[in-house]
Amino acid sequence: MTNATKGRAIPKGEVLPPAKDKQALTATAKQLDTDIRRECTLVQRSITKLAEMLAQMRERELWKYLRDPLHKGAYKRFEEYAQAALGPLSRTRVYSLLAIRELSQGPNPIPPETIERMGRVKANELARLSPEQRTQDVIQSAVEDTVPMVKQKVQEKLNMALPPEQRKEAFMLLARNLPPQLIQMIEEIEADGVFMEGVCDGDMSVTLRAKLWYAVWTNFRANYEEELTEGRKRRLAMAAAKSPQAGPRRNRGAAAAHEVEDGSPP
């Protein structure tokens, strides 16, 4: 059953705001939309400010008062508005930002300026923890440490609340552009290597592929320790030669290393 309001069928139970209130909500929605889109265009955008504005748009359902230029009508879902405002990758980005916003809310809140120093990726990792799990050492790590280290510490916190058989290692995507022949070789080795004794050991907390890669690289490091030490010295020399303190002076070895890095012969 429906009620009729000015010729439009309104589902039973839906309450429309008075005309004046709707006008005010529409104006608020438009202003908030303008602010969101402006923030998205900034090079040094504030993740906490953008997260707060998106949360307001969703929680107050202000997106319902905006027009969808693509479909010539109101947005039907918040996700449709988010895609229009943030772009095609918005679904992941918007829920990441909404999770980050919760870091500054409720019990054990984190100051917005601290979240800004973390950056979106590390703040999003921290958002996986409950307020009680966000201890000062993890927060400090999210500000100072690299993303892999933060992922590891967050996973360790999560594991503490799980029984041993459900605990997991932290994982990250490692992407490299390699020749097709090399990729084929790696995949062929992986296909057999995951069934090697010592890799296929029944430990389900780490994937077979992760255990194989660990074995490959630890073996490489053990067999080429001297060469790696020389490579490390060369890398540090290159970094020192490129630093502003080094000025125009660069020794021949560092210059040669730079040419090797660029792909040309030394």
pTM of the predicted model as reported, rounded to 2 decimal places: 0.60
Summarize pLDDT for 211-247 with one digit per residue, the tens: 898 899 999 999 999 999 999 999 999 999 887 765 5
3 state SS for the chain: CEEEECCEEEECCCCCCCHHHHHHHHHHHHHHHHHHHHHHHCCCCCHHHHHHHHHHHHHCCHHHHCEECCCCEECCCHHHHHHHHHCCCHHHHHHHHHHHHHHHCCCCCCCHHHHHHHCHHHHHHHCCCCHHHCCHHHHHHHHHCCHHHHHHHHHHHHHHCCCHHHCCCCCCCCCCCCCHHHHHHHHHHHHHHCCCCCCCCCCCCCCHHHHHHHHHHHHHHHHCHHHHHHHHHHHHHHHHHHCHHHCCCCCHHHHHHHHHHHCCCC
Summarize pLDDT for 131-164 with one digit per residue, the tens: 999 999 999 999 999 998 999 999 999 998 888 8
Mean pLDDT of 198-212: 81
